[in-house]
Amino acid sequence: MDDGGDSRRDLAAGLDSKEYCLSDRDIVEVVRTEYVYTRPPPWSDTLPTIHVITPTYSRPVQKAELTRLANTLLHVPNLHWILVEDSQRRTPLITRLLRDTGLNYTHLNVETPRNYKLRGDMRDPRIPRGTMQRNLALRWLRETFNKNNSQPGIVYFADDDNTYSLELFEEMRSTRKGSVWPVAFVGGLRYESPKVNAAGKVYGWKTVFDPHRPFAIDMAGFAVNLRLILQRSQAYFKLRGVKGGYQESSLLRELVTLNDLEPKAANCTKILVWHTRTEKPVLVNEGKKGFTDPNVEI
Amino acid sequence: MPKRRDILAIVLIVLPWTLLITVWHQSTIAPLLAVHKDDGGDSRRDLAAGLDSKEYCLSDRDIVEVVRTEYVYTRPPPWSDTLPTIHVITPTYSRPVQKAELTRLANTLLHVPNLHWILVEDSQRRTPLITRLLRDTGLNYTHLNVETPRNYKLRGDMRDPRIPRGTMQRNLALRWLRETFNKNNSQPGIVYFADDDNTYSLELFEEMRSTRKGSVWPVAFVGGLRYESPKVNAAGKVYGWKTVFDPHRPFAIDMAGFAVNLRLILQRSQAYFKLRGVKGGYQESSLLRELVTLNDLEPKAANCTK
């Protein structure tokens, strides 16, 4: 319907119109609606915001990982992506990537200190990867949102190399305190899962590796209501002295009890998130001097 | 001469129907308009605020056309009559990460308008997992399968190593296209081979949509390099391949680095990926040499710099 002729024909064909009387003239208003596909979906006033915290670090596959993660996040309404770089400064690559996605985002950075006693480039191995970055995001949330503020929100930690179904985000949106669900490819299993009893309560953890951890769950397997994060403002991931596999517990024990947990994904019977790992690309043919143009961003 | 009784009867029958039809007409059209605008008040305010409008004189009436843009999100995007269809051919096989890989690939494809996903399983039968997954995405898809023969001389479970993985599946998709679309059919389409474990930007699909014969672009993490790329001269023509591994292949390019116009696929109906006796890295050439020449190639991604 590009030309006036069409609309006149439409009118003749009986298109409904509203008529207004303005002095002696009748103004007939014809409304034509153009639908424009948007990405991300339009913001809704009624949905709680999901704050997705993603630590990231520079390596060859970084841009690819963030590109495909963004492609998933772009389907989720009311999503706020908090991307935290492990770097001294916010890099141009990430700045451009975030801007080009169109997502609602916050771009932060904090560098994990390097352990100078080892090779100069080695980050302190006593600090699990991503910890300082996740903690910075928690601090940012606490500085940005008022504890008494009623803006409902959910906090989720999403690493940049995992795979997320769209259904997962809708499951976590109804989190009142803390919610949990199974995660594939962790703990040396096809999946680890919370144990849920007939009353719909979490009573344990179906894992082989240390099932007696307070929260034997992977980072990708839980979400917390923003209100709890704001109220328990001293709750952070423990930085040092954390046994392998206890990172998640170090935060969750300060926020919720087992009884508080809401099992999602059909009472923890469905897999909606996979702890996929990306293999390191083979770059042997670059040689010492480099074959490809280093100015071409990968 | 009709009796008064008869006239009364006719009126009593016709009148309710007339009323009913009038009311029905209004009630079906009104909600459609209501979806478009929230209430008459808003549009009046918009008009007063100087919203762009065209005016027509129709006898003593002014017809004001108000164009409202409504931003909607649908998954996938609404089909467009003007965009060429991109037929994405993905071979897939069962292994633990299969569902994860296809889930995140689907999440990407769901943003691309006029996309048709041809998923070909390497299996004896179409599996329930894939059937369910495809249906649940909402994508426009075709679900095929063909099993690569197992090499019985080796371990019973080993597929014939002389047939590169995915070849029979891609060929089946080509055959399906040729059986489904008429050579003289003018439905514009592009054919792209997308493996289920790669990463695709949304920009890529828009780049390939304008393919007239064959188009090419760089691919990251192949050939032992950060990326391999076609070499493009100042005239915008492809004249070679920037690779370390065998740059003298007819088409030294990865499966993910090219797209072909559907018309060519339909016209050269005997062009397939060579099944056996193909040297490593020559799979792509085995098909492309039957479809295009180097001169035909259109470089995309900012003349192969992105």
| B57 pLDDT tier (thresholds 50, 70, 90) | very low
- What is the average pLDDT value for chain B, to the nearest integer? 86
- Smallest CA–CA distance, residue A94 to chain B, in Å, is 15
- Smallest CA–CA distance, residue B86 to chain A, in Å, is 18
Interface of A with B in 261-280 (CB under 8 A): 271, 274, 276
Determine contact: A67 vs chain B, CB below 8 A: yes
In angstroms and rounded to an integer, the radius of gyration of the C-alpha atoms of chain B is: 28
| Nearest by CB: B225 against A18, A184, A292 | A292
* More confidently predicted of B259 and B51: B259
Query: How large is the ipTM?
Result: 0.88
Which of A1, A18, A28, A37 is the mutation pick for testing B, counting most B CBs within 10 A?
Answer: A37
- Smallest CA–CA distance, residue B290 to chain A, in Å, is 30
**CB-neighbour burial class of residue A69 (10 A; exposed 0-12, middle 13-18, buried 19+):** buried
Tell me which of B147, B284, B290, B298 is the catalytic residue: B284
Determine contact: B199 vs chain A, CB below 8 A: yes
> Which residue is associated with the tokens 């890989």?
B101
Pairing of strands B227-232, B219-220: antiparallel
DSSP A157-181: E--TTSEE-HHHHHHHTT-SSEEE-
Phi, psi of B259 (to 5 degrees): -140, 155
Angstrom distance (rounded) from CA B225 to CA A287: 9
Highest mean pLDDT among A9-23, B138-152, B174-188, B246-260: B246-260
Angstrom distance (rounded) from CA A35 to CA A275: 37
Interface of A with B in 69-88 (CB under 8 A): 71-72, 74-75, 77
Whether A34 and B218 lie within 8 Å, measured CB to CB: no
Determine contact: A212 vs chain B, CB below 8 A: no
Neighboring chain A residues of B257 at a CB cutoff of 8 Å: none
Dihedral (CA of A159, A109, A156, A245) sign: positive
Report the pLDDT value the prediction gives residue B8, as an integer from 0 to 100: 83
Cβ–Cβ < 8 Å for B259, B200:
no
Angstrom distance (rounded) from CA A67 to CA B202: 9
Question: Does residue B219 register a pLDDT over 50?
Answer: yes
Calculate mean pLDDT across residues B152-169: 74
Please give the structure tokens belonging to residue A115. 């352990």
Report the pLDDT value the prediction gives residue B31, as an integer from 0 to 100: 39
Report the pLDDT value the prediction gives residue B89, as an integer from 0 to 100: 99
Angstrom distance (rounded) from CA B172 to CA B121: 10
Which has the closest alpha carbon to B284: B235, B241, B233, B224?
Answer: B241
Angstrom distance (rounded) from CA A280 to CA B79: 38
State which residue of chain A sits closest to B71, comparing Cα positions: A36
Calculate mean pLDDT across residues B181-195: 91
Report the pLDDT value the prediction gives residue B14, as an integer from 0 to 100: 76
- Smallest CA–CA distance, residue A66 to chain B, in Å, is 10
* More confidently predicted of A14 and B77: B77
Phi, psi of B289 (to 5 degrees): -65, -20
Annotated binding-site residue? B197:
yes
| Nearest by CB: B75 against A7, A25, A75 | A75
| Nearest by CB: B224 against A39, A60, A282 | A282
DSSP B101-125: HHHHHHHHHTTSTTEEEEEEESSSS
Report the pLDDT value the prediction gives residue A127, as an integer from 0 to 100: 87
Helix (H) or strand (E) holding A48: none
B276: helix, strand or coil: coil
Please give the structure tokens belonging to residue B282. 């020559």
Report the pLDDT value the prediction gives residue B30, as an integer from 0 to 100: 42
Cα-Cα-Cα-Cα torsion A261, A265, A269, A273, nearest 10 degrees, comes to: -100
Whether B107 and A75 lie within 8 Å, measured CB to CB: yes
Phi, psi of A239 (to 5 degrees): -80, -45
Determine contact: B175 vs chain A, CB below 8 A: no
Please give the structure tokens belonging to residue B204. 């890529």
Give the CA angle between residues A215, A218, A219 to the nearest 5°. Answer: 105
- Smallest CA–CA distance, residue A229 to chain B, in Å, is 29
Please give the structure tokens belonging to residue A17. 């119109």
Whether A42 and B104 lie within 8 Å, measured CB to CB: no
Neighboring chain A residues of B59 at a CB cutoff of 8 Å: none
Question: Does residue B208 register a pLDDT over 50?
Answer: yes
Determine contact: B17 vs chain A, CB below 8 A: no
Angstrom distance (rounded) from CA B101 to CA A244: 28
* More confidently predicted of A175 and B71: A175
Write the CB contacts of A87 (distance below 8 Å, at least 6 apart in sequence).
A57, A58, A109, A111
No. of helices (H) and no. of strands (E), chain A: 8, 14
Report the pLDDT value the prediction gives residue A1, as an integer from 0 to 100: 35
Whether A38 and B77 lie within 8 Å, measured CB to CB: no
Determine contact: A1 vs chain B, CB below 8 A: no
pTM for this model (two decimals): 0.84
% chain B with pLDDT above 90: 69
Angstrom distance (rounded) from CA A78 to CA A49: 5
Other C-beta atoms closer than 10 Å to the C-beta of B69 total 10
Angstrom distance (rounded) from CA A221 to CA A203: 16
Report the pLDDT value the prediction gives residue A17, as an integer from 0 to 100: 41
- Alpha helix (H) residue ranges in chain A: 4-12, 62-73, 92-101, 131-144, 166-172, 226-231, 247-252, 265-268
Which has the closest alpha carbon to B61: A32, A4, A19, A12?
Answer: A19
A98: helix, strand or coil: helix
B136: helix, strand or coil: helix
Determine contact: A33 vs chain B, CB below 8 A: yes
Report the pLDDT value the prediction gives residue B54, as an integer from 0 to 100: 41
For residue B179, indicate whether it is catalytic.
no
Cα–Cα distance list, B89 to A278, B38, B150, B168 (Å): 23, 43, 23, 12
Question: Does residue B205 register a pLDDT over 50?
Answer: yes
Other C-beta atoms closer than 10 Å to the C-beta of B116 total 18
Write the CB contacts of B185 (distance below 8 Å, at least 6 apart in sequence).
B266
No. of helices (H) and no. of strands (E), chain B: 9, 12
Determine contact: B66 vs chain A, CB below 8 A: yes
Which of B55, B59, B63, B227 is the mutation pick for testing A, counting most A CBs within 10 A?
Answer: B63
State which residue of chain B sits closest to A28, comparing Cα positions: B63
Question: Does residue B41 register a pLDDT over 60?
Answer: no
Cα–Cα distance list, B242 to A180, B138, B229 (Å): 49, 39, 5
Annotated binding-site residue? A124:
no
Angstrom distance (rounded) from CA A180 to CA A220: 9
% chain B with pLDDT above 70: 84
| Nearest by CB: A18 against B40, B107, B242 | B40
Report the pLDDT value the prediction gives residue A58, as an integer from 0 to 100: 98
Which has the closest alpha carbon to A273: A159, A151, A108, A188?
Answer: A159
Angstrom distance (rounded) from CA B131 to CA B286: 31
User: How many A-B residue pairs are in contact by the CB < 8 A criterion?
Assistant: 171
The set of catalytic residues of A is: 248
Question: Residue A109: left if φ>0, alpha if ψ -120 to 50, beta else—which one?
Answer: beta
Cβ–Cβ < 8 Å for B73, A36:
no
Angstrom distance (rounded) from CA A136 to CA A236: 9
DSSP state at residue B215: E
The pLDDT tens digits along chain A (298 residues) read 333 333 333 333 333 344 444 445 567 777 777 767 789 999 999 999 999 999 999 999 999 999 999 999 999 999 999 999 999 999 999 999 999 999 999 999 999 998 755 555 567 777 889 999 999 999 999 999 988 877 999 999 999 999 999 999 999 999 999 999 999 999 999 999 999 999 999 999 999 999 999 999 999 999 999 999 999 999 999 999 999 999 999 999 999 999 999 999 999 999 999 999 999 999 999 999 999 999 999 9
Question: Does residue B34 register a pLDDT over 70?
Answer: no
According to DSSP, the residues that pair with A178 across neighbouring strands are: A224, A261
